Amino acid sequence: MVASALPKSSNGRTEGKRRQPALVSARQAEFARLIVAGKLQRDAYIEAYHPKTKRLQSISQRAHRVSVLPIVQREILRLRMNAERAVLLTLNDRLKRLSQIILDPDATNYEVTNAISAYSRISGDQAPERQEHTGKDGAPLPSTVVQVIQPSPVVRPLSGRERLAEMRRARALREAAKAPEVPAAVPAPTQAPAA
């Protein structure tokens, strides 16, 4: 394709498709690792790239440019998924170890009881807790049941499509909550025909 056939931008330069690098550079990988570790983009950029300029606005702009690169976004997503996978393995390993204690014929009743309690707590199988409250002048009230909601353990990390669908669903719920409620039209009362 001839360069003159490419579309021109507002500054007169030709706009062609830029070829994205296939591999993450060492600085980009460090930037992604720091972002996943919870650093701000600006701080991660300073630590990974060691810029000569000390102007925060300039550094913030450069950090944003790096963060929107598709290859850096893929690296951040990959690192986050690996971190989630490590947490899930830890949870599954705990449950596996507790199961071994429960099924161990040499374990004491005390160890088995504690293992069953911990297993139920971790897996979210506990019954609601009961709490007593006092009424006016210290008089007892009937006990109320307070349900402790614990998240059920995730067996596997979400795939990219499932994660995207979950993010879209959450965004739609947030937008629906922000939207002002429009009152429904009240139908006019109808009178029965006189007989």
For the stretch 53-99, pLDDT in tens is 889 999 999 999 999 999 999 999 999 988 887 776 677 888 888 88
pTM summary value: 0.41
Q: What angle do CA 20, 22, 23 make, to 5 degrees?
A: 120
Which of 17-31, 78-92, 138-152 is the least confident region? Answer: 138-152
Q: pLDDT-based confidence at 168, cuts 50/70/90?
A: confident
Percent of all residues in the chain with a pLDDT value above 90, rounded to a whole number: 27
| SS3 label, residue 144 | strand
